[in-house]
Amino acid sequence: MLERIGSPRDLRGLTYEELAELSAEIRDFLVDNVSRTGGHLGPNLGVVELTIGIHRVFHSPHDSIVFDTGHQAYVHKLLTGRQDFSTLRRRGGLSGYPDRQESVHDIVENSHASTALSWAAGIARGHTIKGETGRSTIAVIGDGALTGGMAWEALNSLGASQDRVVVVMNDNGRSYAPTIGGLARKLDTIRTDRRYEEFLGWGKRTFQNRGPFRSFMYSSVQHGKRALKGLLTEDGVFADLGLKYIGPIDGHDLPQVERALQQAHDFAGPVIVHVLTEKGRGYTPAEQDVADRFHAVGKIHPETGLPIEPSRFGWTSVFADEILAVAEERPDVVALTAAMLAPVGLQPFADAHPDRVIDVGIAEQHAVTSAAGLAYAGLHPVVAVYATFLNRAFDQVLMDVALHGAGVTFMLDRAGITGDDGPSHNGMWDMALLRHVPGLQLAAPRDADTLRQAFRDAIDVDDAPTVVRYPKGAVGDPIPAIREVGGLEVLAEHGDAPRVVVVGLGSMAATAIEAADKIAADGISTLAATATWVHPVPEGLSGLIGGAELVVTVEDGLTDAGIGQEWASFARLQGLSAEWSHHGIPREFLQHASRAQLVEDLGLDPSAIADDTLARLDQD
């Protein structure tokens, strides 16, 4: 069946029996392929019937479909002619998210959550202004993404419009983990209410005996619908915003899904369709997993769901251990995250001290400002997020934390080049942004020991923001220092009075050592160094450089306006005559590829740095 689907139009002539067969084939395809490449498995297994229904009722790309977040768009890719998943998330292969370069059916590379409704509101208003009244805009958003404040700003705006927007709320009770907060509790009430259970049971019997339902609005059908009417008239969350509400419906019952979507389409105004789905549907290991390990997977054995290669002890695990140890020593330390309790390493802390860990949902702005409030109340909050997601709360870091001298520590996981998840997930912006925040101190540890120490140093600061950034993946071997020079650490020395100083920041420290070795092999006196606390400029910088002819900086952040540039400006103000050469990430979006491939492309490998350095010296 799947091979017969080259575009969404091929779905419309199929019977429900054929569509059931297609759904099963899609799930088998996803398990087989994603187990080979890695990727977001659980979210896509849960939206098979829902995505089919959307493409049967609406006509992409005439009707615009926006996914929030885009990791639930694999089925959409399959139904729009992209069925080669052999290089998913690899260079030259399919992106793990919607991608305009891949297909006219893709609208937004939406891997930062809670934005789809704003996109949909803008697209729909554009159609209205242009008089294109026959075009619909569909936003597929998970209940987890609805915890983000931006989504509610959009709902508030949509409620005041008459634009053709269909908000499909994919309610599976999870994002990376069980969805938290007041909205989640409200949806749980609807999902588990006895009257809804009665409705589902009645609906299945009706479908078996009488064919598809005529309507899914609670005002039309009697008997089992009476129970649903009582439930939904009590629920004023969306009605009070001026939005028509349809649901909840079984997101794995395709006739129900289509009927609800068709009714939303015909309404010709903003409508919310509340669809209940099961994350990991149809794949036994995912259905039986309570820790949501199948949200995103590496290469796994498809029969068991177990990883093919067990993960090495990673940076996240180092932080997880250290904050748990600190929590036992300091009762004032609390932690916050934005719907990523396990991915950022806070789960052990939460298990041990549930009253001291706050998951705010997908709401980074709220997390940062509430952290400032916790600091005011006499605690030391630790905000743990992916580096790329702190971009969303820069104003709060600046105006709520720094302006008020709040002692808040930010632990930025997956900093630098992450690779496979594509341009939105590389944590490459943080150093260039945060070094402009008054009073902020920023650390880039090079190994497990320096990460542990940097975290402890950070939480000792109670009158300014502190940031500790560290990369994705396994921790390398310890990198000992030969000696310390005013906040800088010498890692390797080749000869006296170095002509070249190579400084590697954070995860690039090992690169600096290897590059220095290669430069020294050409007969040039060279020194390799690093610093754990990279901003403000370490006080020993002038002493380290001394009479060096060339200083080479290597960082996995932006070259332009990065830490290397800051150090060079400081050195010039001190009257130092050394030339500077900066290696980092250019100001551009990096397309998905492995970290190693991107490092090589950007000239951040030791050989490229050494070759560039020797060429500069020859020119002089």
Which residues are annotated as catalytic?
Answer: 279, 364, 392
Tell whether residue 144 is among the known ligand binding residues: yes
Tell whether residue 265 is among the known ligand binding residues: no
Tell whether residue 111 is among the known ligand binding residues: yes
Distances (CA, A) of 509 to 369, 505, 528, 537: 33, 6, 8, 17
* CB contact at 8 A, 410 and 437: no
Strand order in the sheet with 533-535: 357-359, 333-337, 380-386, 409-413, 466-469, 441-443, 533-535
What is the residue type of 64?
A: S
Q: Which structure tokens are listed for 261?
A: 């979507």
Cα dihedral sign, 174-178-182-188: positive
How many angstroms separate the CA atoms of 32 and 559, rounded?
40
Closest CA to 420 of 31, 157, 37: 37
Question: What is the 8-class DSSP label of residue 64?
Answer: E
Question: What is the 8-class DSSP label of residue 276?
Answer: E
* CB contact at 8 A, 169 and 94: no
Query: H-helix or E-strand containing 141?
Result: strand 137-142
Tell whether residue 283 is among the known ligand binding residues: yes
Question: What is the 8-class DSSP label of residue 174?
Answer: B
How many angstroms separate the CA atoms of 544 and 542, rounded?
5
Tell whether residue 71 is among the known ligand binding residues: yes
Cα dihedral sign, 374-378-379-381: positive
* CB contact at 8 A, 375 and 406: yes
Other Cβ atoms closer than 10 A to 586:
11
Tell whether residue 113 is among the known ligand binding residues: yes
- Cis ω on the peptide bond leading into residue 61 (within 30° of 0)? yes
Q: What share of the chain is helix, strand, coil (3-state, %, to 5)?
A: 40, 15, 40
Residue 103: exposed, middle, or buried by beta-carbon count in 10 A (0-12, 13-18, 19+)? Answer: middle
Other Cβ atoms closer than 10 A to 299:
14
Strand order in the sheet with 137-142: 64-68, 137-142, 165-171, 271-276, 244-250
For 110, residues 6+ apart whose C-beta sits below 8 A from its C-beta are 66, 67, 68, 69, 70, 97, 98, 116, 119
Tell whether residue 458 is among the known ligand binding residues: no
Tell whether residue 274 is among the known ligand binding residues: no
Query: H-helix or E-strand containing 176?
Result: none
Q: Which structure tokens are listed for 361?
A: 């949902």
Structure-derived torsion over alpha carbons of residues 35, 41, 45, 46, reported in degrees to the nearest 10? 160
How many angstroms separate the CA atoms of 558 and 563, rounded?
8
In the annotated binding site, the residues are 71, 111-113, 143-145, 172, 283, 364
In the annotated binding site for Mg(2+), the residues are 143, 172
In the annotated binding site for thiamine diphosphate, the residues are 71, 111-113, 144-145, 172, 283, 364
